[in-house]
Amino acid sequence: MNRTAIPVLDFDQIDSTNAEARRRAEAGEAGPLWITAGRQTAGRGRRGRAWSTEPGNLAATLLTAVRRPPAEAAQTAFVAALAIVDLCDAFAPSSLVSIKWPNDVLIAGAKVAGVLIESGSLADGRLWLAVGCGVNLAHAPSGTPYPATSLAAHLRDGVGAPPCPAEAMGAVAASFRRWMQAWDQHGFTAIAEAWTARAGGLGGPCVARLGTETVEGVAEGLDVDGALKLRLRSGDVRRITAGDVFFEAAA
């Protein structure tokens, strides 16, 4: 990935920044390019859920290309989560900011941001990635299946207002670049260690909903590839690679 400044394409309104990245990738474009929008009319989160983006919040997607296998490329979601944590730390008390597996960012236990990774193949054999980042800067949605909040609701003393979307975009892009450099230089272990230091719920009871199956156990941490290790009551360890997880404090 190009480590110089990445151009930003800004839309006042669009269906979805990830959808725009996909359209461009399927037309042969490889980036790197950040795509942002003041408002999304058909924003999406993980597992096909709707993601509302109103003016004042951040909707941004990085379109880029990598030469990594799909499972490894998916670890970029952990990088994006760390970049969003850095943004939140700059405006809210860092003691309130945490990550819920795999890449939801929480403030005071409520979701303030999410990451959606999509990918496909390019003609030259590389994998295109759309790294979607949604951050509730000024507003939190209502009627969500989980507690949601905004950065504006948790500003640190002395901070008068949350960042505007353009300021937040610049901060996330710069932090994302730094974490990608750490990944390149030190491997995913460096990312996993930083992620674990900000993760909530580890070592405690966890419920994982995996489609038609629900699994309960104790969340022990990340496996080497980013899967969540869940210690079952039987003593066996179950690797969770996809699904929704709920920890006791936020279930």
Alpha carbon dihedral 136, 243, 24, 183, in 10-degree steps, equals 80
32 cis-preceded (ω within 30 degrees of 0): yes
Q: What is the CATH number of the domain that holds 213?
A: 2.30.30.100
171 shares a domain with 226: no
The total of structural domains in the chain comes to 2
29 shares a domain with 129: yes
Residue 173 is part of which domain span? 8-198
119 shares a domain with 172: yes
Q: Is the residue at 36 inside a domain?
A: yes
User: Which residues pair with residue 134 across a beta bridge?
Assistant: 59, 114
Domain closes at, from 198, 220, 236: 198
Q: Is the residue at 99 inside a domain?
A: yes
User: pLDDT of 180-203, one tens digit each?
Assistant: 999 999 999 999 999 999 998 888
User: pLDDT of 154-182, one tens digit each?
Assistant: 999 988 899 999 999 999 999 999 999 99
Per cent of the chain over pLDDT 90 is 76
Q: Is the residue at 2 inside a domain?
A: no
Rounded mean pLDDT for each run of 10 residues along the chain, 251 residues in total? 74 94 95 94 62 82 94 94 98 96 94 95 94 95 86 94 96 96 95 95 90 90 93 93 76 36
216 shares a domain with 194: no
153 shares a domain with 228: no
Q: Is the residue at 3 inside a domain?
A: no
239 shares a domain with 165: no
Verdict on whether the full-model pTM lies above 0.85: yes
Provide the residue type at 152 as one letter: A
